[in-house]
Amino acid sequence: MLTLPMAGWIKKKYPACKIYFLGSAYTKEIIALSEYVDEFIDYTELKKRSQTDQIGFLKSLKVDAIVHVFPVKEIAQLAKQAAISLRVGTTSRIYHWFTCNKRVALSRKNSDLHEAQLNIQLLGFLNMETNVSLKDISEMYGFTKIPNASENMLRLIDKTKFNLILHPKSRGNGMEWGLKNFDALIKLLPEEKYKIFLSGTEEEGKLIKDLIQGNPSVTDLTGKFALKEFIAFINCCDGLVASGTGPLHLTSALGKRTVGLFPSRRPIHPGRWKPIGINASYLVFDANCEKCRKGENCDCILRIDPKQVLALLEKK
């Protein structure tokens, strides 16, 4: 999600260029949303081929440059073996010194920039501006190819209410706000005003079964949708509440009301991972939390008041 604005920024300056996105299979449906990516290359499938076939495939694309946004040693080696002219990586990866001919000094952990801004720092080799505002980045997703919602999805939507998705779990990608807090938020949300959905994988549904069973007015979506379907459903809804997860960033990019919940500890703080979008916001319990400042494990995210979340959802 936070790599995609790079494609929009490149297309803004070089509209005639062709952009390939090399990614794992599970990212394909996200990449397919953007008008700025011309072709997706499934690395999950590519790496099943012999090394000779992989090199031959990359050569056949006649790629001029590759940017290693998410560094993978094998891909860096493959790009060099395929004789791609410009190979861009960071100086912090030792193998980039042997595989890349353009290296950028980029420290993500200690930077005050957002992850999406850090990614764009890698584009300096194109003689383009790399200090980009978050507002500009929010306009660079190019999500013009949203899948259509099915009739079954549309029947779940209540057009007389604010359709809100709560995504309690994070699959280990962020610190979680806790099921007690989500339960408290559900009980704060007026039933006459909100229709609430709980989302997650089938496995996550098992982890939050007590939350589901304790709130019979809530619609359980866990394990119900494939990613493409979930994207279509999010686009039908009005907002989402989650910690630092993929659905949080997807919802904000779609322009929906989005509330992200974070600790203030680096490197998982909102300065780096907050949602970007015209209707996106976030909360921390204490921006100056002493334990977070020291880099210690801290559960201060659990102390974010559900009433604050409600206030952001209702903010005009």
Residue 80 pLDDT greater than 80, yes or no: yes
pLDDT at residue number 112 = 87
Confirm if 125 and 85 have CB atoms less than 8 A apart: no
- 187's CB contacts (< 8 A; 6+ apart) are 215
Q: Give the residue, 32 or 267, on which the prediction is more confident.
A: 32
Single-letter amino acid, residue 45: E
The CA distances from residue 258 to 236, 270, 287, 316, in Å, are 14, 13, 19, 13
The CA distances from residue 244 to 3, 167, 249, 303, in Å, are 15, 10, 8, 16
Residue 173 pLDDT greater than 80, yes or no: no
Domains of the chain: 4-138 (3.40.50.2000), 158-313 (3.40.50.2000)
Beta bridge partners of 220: 198
Per-residue confidence at 295, pLDDT binned at 50, 70, 90? confident
Give the burial string for 164-190 (b: 16+ CB within 10 Å, else e).
bbbbbbbeeebbbbbeebbbebbeebe
Single-letter amino acid, residue 276: I
Per-residue confidence at 107, pLDDT binned at 50, 70, 90? confident
Cα(267)–Cα(115) distance, integer angstroms: 10
Residue 11 pLDDT greater than 90, yes or no: yes
**Per-residue model confidence as pLDDT tens digits over 247-270:** 999 999 999 999 999 999 988 999
First to last CA, the chain: 27
Per-residue confidence at 144, pLDDT binned at 50, 70, 90? very high
Confirm if 142 and 36 have CB atoms less than 8 A apart: yes
Residue 288 CB burial class (10 angstroms; 0-12, 13-18, ≥19): exposed
Handedness of CA 299, 311, 192, 149 (dihedral sign): negative
Per-residue confidence at 231, pLDDT binned at 50, 70, 90? very high
pLDDT at residue number 297 = 85
Q: Within 10 Å of residue 16's Cβ, how many Cβ atoms?
A: 5
Cα(182)–Cα(171) distance, integer angstroms: 17
Comparing CA positions, the residue from 207, 221, 294, 301 lying closest to residue 263 is: 301
Confirm if 283 and 308 have CB atoms less than 8 A apart: yes
Per-residue confidence at 108, pLDDT binned at 50, 70, 90? confident
- Give me the chain's average pLDDT, please: 95
Please give the structure tokens belonging to residue 135: 């507002």
**Per-residue model confidence as pLDDT tens digits over 42-55:** 999 999 999 999 99
3-state SS class at 20 = strand
